[in-house]
Structure 1
Amino acid sequence: MAASSELSGAHQPVRSISLPSRTHPSSVRLESVLNTLKSCQISSVSTPFPVGAETIQTGLVGLAELYNCLEELIHSPLTQQALLRFEHRELVEEVLDGSITLLDTCGTTRGIVFTMKEHVKTLQSALRRKGVDSRIEGYIHAYMLFRKKVKKDVAKCLKELKRTGRKVSSSPPLDLDPRLSMVFGVLREASAITVSIFRSLLLFLSTPAMETNAAARWLSLVSRLMPATAGLLSCEKGQKIVNEVGSVDVALCSLHGHLRNKDAKAEVQFAQKMLETLHLSINGVEDGLDCLFRCLLQNRVSFLNILAN
Structure 2
Amino acid sequence: MAVNETKTKSSLHLRSNSFPSTSHPLISQFEDNLQRLKSSEGTSSLSSSLICHRLNEMQDLHDCIDRLLQLPIEQQALIQECNEKWVDELLENSLRILDICCTAKDCLLLSKESIHELQSVIRRRGNETGLVIEGVKYLALRKNVKKQIRKALANLKAMKNEFMASSTKKDNNSSPMLGFLKETEAVTLSSLEKLLEFTSDPKGHSKHRRWSAISKLMNPKRAVCDSQESDTNEFEKVDTTLQSLISHKSSSTENFQNDMENLEMCIQDLEIGVEHISRKLIRNRVSLLNIFNH
Q: What is the TM-score of this pair, normalised by structure 1? A: 0.76
Which one-letter code corresponds to 2:172 in the other structure? D
Which one-letter code corresponds to 1:107 in the other structure? C
Q: Is the 8 A contact 2:78 2:177 kept in 1?
A: no
1 or 2 for the larger relative contact order (CA 8 Å, sep ≥6)?
Answer: 2
Q: Is the 8 A contact 1:89 1:307 kept in 2?
A: no
- Distance, in Å, in 1 between the alignment partners of 2:260 and 2:98 is 29
What corresponds to 1:214 in structure 2? none
Q: Is the 8 A contact 1:106 1:289 kept in 2?
A: yes
The 1:98–1:118 alpha-carbon spacing in structure 2 relative to 1, beyond 3 Å, is: same
- Alignment of 1:121 with 2:116, yes or no, is yes
- Alignment of 1:170 with 2:165, yes or no, is yes
Q: Is the 8 A contact 2:100 2:152 kept in 1?
A: yes
What corresponds to 2:255 in structure 1? 270
- Distance, in Å, in 1 between the alignment partners of 2:136 and 2:19 is 52
Instruction: Select the residue among 140, 146, 152 that pairs with 1:151.
Output: 146
SS in 1 for 2:285: helix
Q: Is the 8 A contact 2:198 2:233 kept in 1?
A: yes
- Alignment of 1:247 with 2:241, yes or no, is no
SS in 2 for 1:154: helix
Q: Is the 8 A contact 2:48 2:266 kept in 1?
A: yes
- Distance, in Å, in 1 between the alignment partners of 2:161 and 2:230 is 32
What corresponds to 2:193 in structure 1? 199
CA displacement, residues 101-139 of structure 1 (integer Å, 9 cap, x when unaligned): 100000111111111111112212221232552111111
- Distance, in Å, in 1 between the alignment partners of 2:154 and 2:25 is 37
Q: Is the 8 A contact 1:84 1:306 kept in 2?
A: yes
What's the C-alpha RMSD, in Å, of the aligned pairs?
2.5
- Distance, in Å, in 1 between the alignment partners of 2:20 and 2:272 is 32
Q: Is the 8 A contact 1:37 1:62 kept in 2?
A: yes
Q: Is the 8 A contact 2:234 2:262 kept in 1?
A: yes
- Distance, in Å, in 1 between the alignment partners of 2:39 and 2:192 is 16
What corresponds to 1:286 in structure 2? 271
- Distance, in Å, in 2 between the alignment partners of 1:160 and 1:168 is 12
Amino-acid identity (%): 32
Structure 1 position 291, deviation (Å): 0.4
- Alignment of 1:29 with 2:67, yes or no, is no
What corresponds to 2:180 in structure 1? 186
Structure 1 position 204, deviation (Å): 1.1
Q: Is the 8 A contact 2:163 2:186 kept in 1?
A: yes
- Distance, in Å, in 2 between the alignment partners of 1:121 and 1:73 is 42
The 1:87–1:109 alpha-carbon spacing in structure 2 relative to 1, beyond 3 Å, is: closer
CA displacement, residues 164-188 of structure 1 (integer Å, 9 cap, x when unaligned): 11121111133326xx2x2111211
- Distance, in Å, in 2 between the alignment partners of 1:80 and 1:187 is 13
SS in 1 for 2:83: helix
